[in-house]
Structure 1
Amino acid sequence: MVLRAPGLGVLNPAAARLEVWGDPIAHSRSPQLHAAAYDVLGLDWSYGRRRVGERSFAAELATLDDAWRGLSLTMPLKGVAYAAAANLDRRAELTGAVNTLLLDPDGPRGFNTDVGGIVRTLADDGLTTVPSARIVGAGATATSAVVALSELGAREIQVVARRPEAVAPLVALGERLGVEVTAAPFAASLSHEVPLTIATLPGDAPVQDAAADALADTGGLLLDVVYGHWPTALSAAWDRAGATARSGLGMLLHQALLQIRIFRHGDPDTPLDAEDRVLRAMRGVLEGTAAA
């Protein structure tokens, strides 16, 4: 099979090396997920992990030869990967973040599959439209959350952050998308109720119980993008409130599936062969069970 990217060059069909880069990286579940998918697809591809920081990223990228097919990027590399991309998909262009590089001969093609990962994992909980929502935290993942919520029809997003000035880029992004984004501080009382909260804080971020409980009381379903530190302060508050909290494993699963579509077809919207089987195998990895 020769992979031809639309309007771009031909990807070497023999290219079979892939890795996930970031710092830290030892915790990454991506090698297991990708290996399970490649096994179902019958692909003789290797997928490893490498500790790479922002300062060493460009030099490491320059060492890759035509045996390499692509990279997955995690923190703190999504910004430098964005800068390195010769071509961007719309989600990457909107967010300024790239978590997937397809190593095309005409230059790396950058994609953001975090947005689709959020959209698809919320669909697993039956949330396919969301009129309003709350985001906790204003870092890089919050940008992907804003784009995902706009795709789900949200027109009002409240961003709870310790520094209101950090919300300004999200407000500007919301204006571009036709979404009203407003800032709110962490507080012991929040009167505004929403059907969904997306938490983008680091897993070990401290949150006072009173503020966490206020968020849980008015926050609907919680999607906490963390999966390495569980429970988090926010998921514990949702548990106290008897409300539903989901970890970031679903987002991890679905963004990885979209990455594999890109590595296979050059397009995140083109389904894989036997995609249902691929998804079951990947879920089995996360659940610690063999796929049926």
Structure 2
Amino acid sequence: MTKAHIIFTIKLLAIILVLSYVLDKVIYYSLNKVSDTVYTGQAIGKLNHYLSVKDTTQVIAFGSSRANHHIDVRKLSKSSFNVGVDGKFIAYSSTLIKLLPKNKKQQIILHIDPNVAFRKHYNRSEIKTLMVKYHRSPIIKKELKKAEQENPLQEFYWSIDYNGLVLGILKNAVFPKYDHTNYSGYDPLHIGENDKEIFKKILERRDPLDCGENIKMNDLYLSYLKEIKTFCDENNKNLILITSPLYVDDCPEDNLELAQILSELNITYYDYTNYFKDNNALEYWKDLSHMSDVAANQFSETLSKDLSLNE
């Protein structure tokens, strides 16, 4: 290859690189404009909703599906929002908590799953869905980098932020799932006769879990707990941790260990794991760890009384 060919190739590659960079930014800002209008669905809608109310809301519930489907926050306070999301645990919640306003008094309810806290390996890949705000929130960017969940190409190609989310965003932009102005973030699970029959079969096939001998909280999980505690202490947040009911708890030892750790950290903790132990009606359960709307309603009433957060 001659020198002229090499120079031509380099120039061509440079032009392609510049054009791809420009096209990427056009796509990225176009997606931003669309996504900013979306307030329904879990692709980005609930996150956008949270970001729009986080600075003015007094009571906010965080956690996994067992927060999302179990805590009717309107029973706790008129000024409330449930930002629990299915499949999201403490790394995700920690990131969202750190987005709250500094030095503003707020009540933080964090649902904690003992079976996750005591896993030998805790996978932080759950926070990848926050990638959509990678270039728009320094805090989210920092947390993604800390969790080693960022894509190295993102620093150049920003539209990568939307990987896997575009269809969900466009769908909710055109066909919103609900009226978000009347939405508290709480998603009750309604069950029918067919669900009861399915649950009966789950119980018939169920084998007790093997808890193992060494019950030790995952170090990474513990570090997130400490970070949340520090943030709340420094920013006028009242932090309350809860564990919602289970149909049956095969490993009560990890609950006891969790309670001890949280006591040492001076974190208020309410363990409702055995709330329905003596009254496990089938209509109360979708599966072994998720309550129906009937049970969630009763549980939320009790939570409201215990926490006394009503205005």
Q: Same fold (TM over 0.5)?
A: no
Bigger Rg, structure 1 or 2:
2
TM-score, normalization: structure 1?
Answer: 0.25
Q: More relative contact order in 1 or in 2 (CA 8 Å, sep 6+)?
A: 2
More helix by share: 2
TM-score normalized with structure 2 length: 0.24
